[in-house]
Amino acid sequence: MGNTRYQLTDTNHDKIAAKLLFVSSSVYEGDWPSIQHTHYFTELFYVRGGSGKFIVEDKTFSVTQDDLVIINPNVEHTEVSLGTVPLEYVVLGVEGLCFSFNENADYTVFNYRNRRENLMFYFNSMVAEMEQKEKNYELVCQDLLEVLLVNVVRHAGFTFEVVPAQKTTRECGRAKRYIDSNYMEDITLDTLAEIAHLNKFYFVHAFTNCYGLSPINYLNDKRIRCSKELLQSTDHSIAEIAQLSGFSSQSYFAQSFKKACGVTAGSYRKMMKRGQEAAG
């Protein structure tokens, strides 16, 4: 008898705190108003069939079967069916979730034709659970959402994070996504206020109210988190990591890291290495 055993590590993995608000299955029947609107939550649309177009703020793009459209909170959008075969899709509303896409975009569209069976299983299972409402169906749907998110991010090349969506404004969200995508660049408060289209002093107040950190402190925190990942997973020198994380100099990086983490970058790397060796 053949037997293969795969041992799990003792690594603790936190649950994704984003909350599934609803699951909806829709088929266009000519009665949609197609008016641009916004939500405080993220929406994930999976196109089951037909074709159509999405209008996201001032951009328009076509969608077809097996396209996954993700739209971040507070972004104006609507959808329209085209052709004789009506647009059919499943949409998930998820609270407390925000994606970081390339080029500081507020949305993305990604075709999963090659992984159709995998992705459709999760969407269809959630629809079935919501329709049948058997015991603990909401828990099942929440867990399916987490597995779906891991699979989407694993194959699409972008990231997500949990955010206090109920406090997030569209303007602050735009600035935050810019930081998340460009933290390695030279970013000033003036640049961020301009991206948010807000007065600089009001922007600082609004951003701090949204995320609990000022824009510059959030930027530094993002850079520190990046540097910790690089210290743990690469052999880059401290100077290289300082540059890759967006710090203007190695000395400023050393000062910022010690202040944020209580130890030097070199000491942190040694601690992480010892922990990995002990676990291995």
pTM of the predicted structure, to 2 decimals: 0.62
Q: What's the one-letter identity of residue 200?
A: K
Confidence of residue 48 (pLDDT cuts 50, 70, 90): very high
Query: pLDDT tens digits for 94-107?
Result: 988 888 776 667 88
Task: Report the CATH fold assignment for 169-279.
Answer: Arc Repressor Mutant, subunit A (1.10.10)
244 burial level (CB within 10 Å; 0-12, 13-18, 19+): middle
Give the mean pLDDT of the chain.
87
The domain spans of the chain are 19-162, 169-279
Coil vs helix vs strand at 47: strand
Q: Which tens digit of pLDDT belongs to each residue from 230-268?
A: 999 999 999 999 999 999 999 999 999 999 999 999 999
d(CA 35, CA 85): 21
**What pLDDT band is residue 38 in, cutting at 50, 70 and 90?**
confident
Residue length, the chain? 280
Q: Give the dihedral of Cα atoms 132, 135, 137, 139; nearest 10 deg.
A: 180
CATH superfamily of 19-162: Regulatory protein AraC (2.60.120.280)
Residues 6+ apart with CB under 8 A from 243: none
